[in-house]
Structure 1
């Protein structure tokens, strides 16, 4: 289905879909420029009017601006919470995927080059983790570590590093026996230099194609954990916590508290996935046959 949508949106000379790129660029710009675009700073209690909690979209605020998307149960402007929440979602997801990629790449090339018991032990650990749902691994990790932005980044790293280790190890295994690696060993180059200067650069390509998709996956994981109350603290306006804050108000007709952050979250994940799929198809020629 995703491949069909991509083919319908992209032209013959446009391997990357332009519309998702534009949408994603708007999301990134909104997150970076949140202090300039947001009518209210949801972190500043002096700008939050508690008596205006659960105001409907279009209501007038005491600060002289309109609540275009309404307010949540704490009196925070939904639009401002979304803009600031984008920052948390993007920082957490990009940071966790970057760290997970570094850990997985390092573990993968080390196991492939070392071989023997080190390779076997690492692959059994990777097999064990990949046999479990990623969300379950993240849940166990965050319950063990406790809530907090730094801890949710670490939990997502624990949940995602194994994929990079598996992919990189498979690519590195085919490189270890090549002549340039034999020459590096004959020259008695240091172990670290062989890994970083020779083996890793030639084994990194398959893992690079996973990065954009995994960023979208990390956004969804962070939102899920925050919605369950196990991720970003409830007083921080991430997209997941904002959706969670409005869940109890759905039955009273105050739909806007969860609806608009949920739509923003859906658009962010969809745009990241579509851009990531376009990049993967461009970087990996074999995927163009699919």
Structure 2
């Protein structure tokens, strides 16, 4: 990757939509990291939850004197607090699963290109099979097999995402294998793992950067979908998806705030990630003749 491309990547965009997306995503990250300091209530602590104040509308004052700005859910938890803690959990699941999937996918893709023959055939047939199936179907089968839980949903998303990275890394590695530095490494009889990790893998990472933001937004949406269906994060651990699901049953009774406000936060998070990912792709795509940097 050229130095000017790196400088362009870290420069602040002139496009107003991209600016707003970057600032919104930065705000989400800050709120998630500071959830325990910012949130007025710990939704994990039953001692801080007043069950008799369940389903209180926005603007209601609680017995402790604090005003529930966005109301409370059906368990008496402050909706603002569940959004902040849910944001932290959703981002934790998405970032962790995307990082693991990228690492596994890059390793397998580079290995398929380097070893070729039956190794390449097996890995790429598995990749082709998985990518031919609907993402939500693969995720549902994985989570039903593994069971609910934060660690299980991370593993399920990894199973869904690794194939995209493997295909991308294989294509890049195939173009690198015939270059002089790889031939020199072989002539020096360097260990195979060193050629893969020190030479081929670093040159496959740059193209994967354009895929990571897309898969990150996909992971947030997938976790929210599974949690909404009751197959992801347990109901006692608020993520944005499970928080929306918890309030869905109250919509018909007019208690819209339990689902609507977390849903707006979820939409904003996914949209900001996708817009920032689009900007990253445009900056790193060598075929783009110009971009708003």
What TM-score range do you get, normalising by the shorter chain?
A: over 0.9
Partner of 2:141: 140
Seen in structure 2, the aligned counterparts of structure 1 residues 177 and 160 have a Cα distance that, compared at 3 Å, is same
Partner of 1:286: 287
| Conservation of the 8 A alpha-carbon contact between 2:13 and 2:19 | no
Aligned equivalents of 1:117 and 1:29: distance in 2?
Answer: 47
- Residue 177 (1) aligns with residue 178 (2): yes
Please report the TM-score for the alignment, with normalisation by the length of structure 1: 0.94
Alpha-carbon offset, residue 208 of structure 1: 1.4
- Residue 242 (1) aligns with residue 243 (2): yes
Structure 1: runs of 5+ lacking an equivalent: 1-10
Deviations 1:227-279 (A, max 9, x none): 00000000111111110001111110111100000000000000011011111
Aligned equivalents of 1:39 and 1:203: distance in 2?
Answer: 44
Aligned equivalents of 1:182 and 1:155: distance in 2?
Answer: 38
Alpha-carbon offset, residue 13 of structure 1: 5.0
Aligned equivalents of 2:217 and 2:182: distance in 1?
Answer: 36
Structure 2: runs of 5+ lacking an equivalent: 1-11
Aligned equivalents of 1:63 and 1:277: distance in 2?
Answer: 45
Alpha-carbon offset, residue 285 of structure 1: 2.6
Partner of 2:73: 72
Deviations 1:52-98 (A, max 9, x none): 10000000111210110011000000000000000100000000000
Q: How many residues align?
A: 280
| Conservation of the 8 A alpha-carbon contact between 2:165 and 2:208 | yes
Aligned equivalents of 2:147 and 2:14: distance in 1?
Answer: 48
Aligned equivalents of 2:288 and 2:70: distance in 1?
Answer: 41
Aligned equivalents of 1:16 and 1:187: distance in 2?
Answer: 51
Partner of 2:8: none
Partner of 1:45: 46
Aligned equivalents of 2:146 and 2:16: distance in 1?
Answer: 41
Aligned residue for 2:72, secondary structure, equals coil
Seen in structure 2, the aligned counterparts of structure 1 residues 46 and 205 have a Cα distance that, compared at 3 Å, is same
Any runs of at least 4 consecutive aligned residues in structure 1 with deviations exceeding 4 A, and if so which?
11-16, 287-290
Aligned equivalents of 2:99 and 2:13: distance in 1?
Answer: 32
Alpha-carbon offset, residue 16 of structure 1: 8.4
Partner of 1:263: 264
- Residue 34 (1) aligns with residue 32 (2): no
RMSD: 1.6
Partner of 2:253: 252
- Residue 17 (1) aligns with residue 18 (2): yes
Partner of 2:113: 112
